[in-house]
Structure 1
Amino acid sequence: MRRMTTLPAEGFAGRTRRARAEAMAIRPLRDGRYVVETTGGTYVVDVETGTCTCPDSAIRRARCKHLRRVAIEINERLIPAPGERTSACAVCGRRTFVPMFDSAPTLCERHAHAPGDLVRDRETKSLLVVVRATGKRADESATGGGRLVADYESNENYGRHEPVFEAVYVDSLPLSGGVEDLAGRTRYRFPASRLRPVESDFADAESVRHATASDRPETRQASLV
């Protein structure tokens, strides 16, 4: 059980103020509900139905302080939302929230990459566009030659447990927004932390979709040569 904490309450009134000012500890349940422990008792909150087992909600049908507190902590990303669970970033260990039954290695917002993002290879300093997340770890994901991403010498400084991303090299930045067609370019696989973010949503969705649907499914590992 988490220790009971308070939240800043200045500028709030009524039940919302009490929801923030009173000490509470919240524990998510696997069924999407939450146990709320207070000095006055322990209650079960269901944010999807907007109900709580406390008298204020069960009898008076009010949106009680316990329900409000759970909603506040979800919105402020202090606890997972219904259908999520707490996990740790595979790069830095920072707490993050993922879908309840997602078994893929996870990343926090700081280390995650999305299709279309412009990134820089920390080893070669080259620019690439991310085309997809493989959903596998570096010690599980193999290139077209059958060699695991984690086994390449150029990746020895990156975690074998890190999620792998596929990306394509871009020769240079375009003069205006967008990027030329990516479909004809070979895809390469990298551990997540080898790619340093440069610009989000650099390539449009159509360019990325064409890259992953191209006739060149072979993937390789970048060389330092």
Structure 2
Amino acid sequence: MSRASKTALAPDLRDCDERTVRAWTEPMAVTPLGGGCYRVDTDGDTYTVDVPGHRCTCPDYHYRHAHCKHRRRVAIEITQERVPAPGQRRADCAYCGHESFVPETATVPLCSDCRLDDDDVAVDRETADTLVVRRVHPDRADEYVIEATGKTVAAHDTNEDYPADDPVVEAVYLGDRLRNDDPRVYAFPYSRLRQVEDAELVD
């Protein structure tokens, strides 16, 4: 096994301008505010950085329109995944429980390893049928009631081996989707479905 080469994670500050050096070295606390904005606390002052707007409330930006140390510090912390990027928020995954960055608009927080998006293809572990995901529902399997049966998803006979607190995935059968403009939507415990990787679709 080859040995990994040694490398520094931070840039060589000797080659950086003053604002970049200060962004890397000065004590600052960066807090996401949502909407692509971040609060930056320094020694004695607090400023707001608007990443999509490329702005900061500090005098360096206001008077000089400079790419200030606060904007640079926010960019560093986003790149190093210390804070979520614009459009994301920090949350515990509703399935595996690991803390992750998820879309701000996600009603059910799922990490990148567990995420099922609209139109993803999945396979039913019980029947091997292929399904197309409509959405991940905010109710758990023991809360989501199937209208046709009056039972919860968790109480359905074929779901007894899956966790009752699973997120619920609404999906349609692939064949129905291809044949019908308005296919019937079914509800499954998250664990019952296996997401199909892109490579499998090609094969």
- Scaled by the length of structure 1, the TM-score of the pair is 0.64
Aligned length: 187
Which structure shows the bigger proportion of residues in helix conformation? 2
1:191 and 2:189 matched: yes
Structure 2 contact 50–56 (Cα < 8 Å) conserved: yes
Structure 1 contact 116–129 (Cα < 8 Å) conserved: no
1:64-117 Cα distance to aligned partner (Å, 9 max, x none): 1211222343456542345653322111122233326x5x32211211212333
For residues 17 and 145 of structure 1, the distance between their equivalents in structure 2, rounded to whole angstroms, comes to: 64
Q: Which one of the candidate residues 123, 127, 135 is aligned to 1:120?
A: 123
Structure 1 contact 35–44 (Cα < 8 Å) conserved: yes
Partner of residue 98, structure 1: 103
After superposition, the CA RMSD in angstroms is: 3.6
Partner of residue 45, structure 1: 49
Structure 2 contact 121–131 (Cα < 8 Å) conserved: yes
Deviation of 1:197 (Å): 1.7
Cα pair distance change 1:108/1:132, threshold 3 Å:
same
For residues 116 and 196 of structure 2, the distance between their equivalents in structure 1, rounded to whole angstroms, comes to: 10
Structure 1 contact 116–201 (Cα < 8 Å) conserved: no
Partner of residue 9, structure 2: 8
1:19-38 → structure 2 map (5 Å cutoff):
19-29=23-33, 33-38=37-42
Deviation of 1:188 (Å): 2.9
Unpaired stretches in structure 1, ≥5 consecutive residues: 1-6, 172-178, 204-225
Structure 1 vs Structure 2: percent identity of aligned residues?
42
1:160-215 Cα distance to aligned partner (Å, 9 max, x none): 443322334568xxxxxxx9825397543212232122224988xxxxxxxxxxxx
Cα pair distance change 1:116/1:32, threshold 3 Å:
closer
Deviation of 1:11 (Å): 5.8
Aligned AA (1:110): D
Deviation of 1:27 (Å): 0.8
Q: Which has the higher contact order (CA 8 A, sep 6+)?
A: 1
For residues 170 and 83 of structure 1, the distance between their equivalents in structure 2, rounded to whole angstroms, comes to: 31
1:112-166 Cα distance to aligned partner (Å, 9 max, x none): 21233332334x2614222301523223322232211122354345444433223
For residues 62 and 189 of structure 1, the distance between their equivalents in structure 2, rounded to whole angstroms, comes to: 53
For residues 129 and 162 of structure 2, the distance between their equivalents in structure 1, rounded to whole angstroms, comes to: 19
- Scaled by the length of structure 2, the TM-score of the pair is 0.69
Aligned AA (1:105): V
Structure 1 contact 90–161 (Cα < 8 Å) conserved: no
Structure 1 contact 128–167 (Cα < 8 Å) conserved: no
Structure 2 contact 78–84 (Cα < 8 Å) conserved: yes
User: Which secondary structure does the structure 1 equivalent of 2:70 belong to?
Assistant: helix
For residues 74 and 21 of structure 1, the distance between their equivalents in structure 2, rounded to whole angstroms, comes to: 16
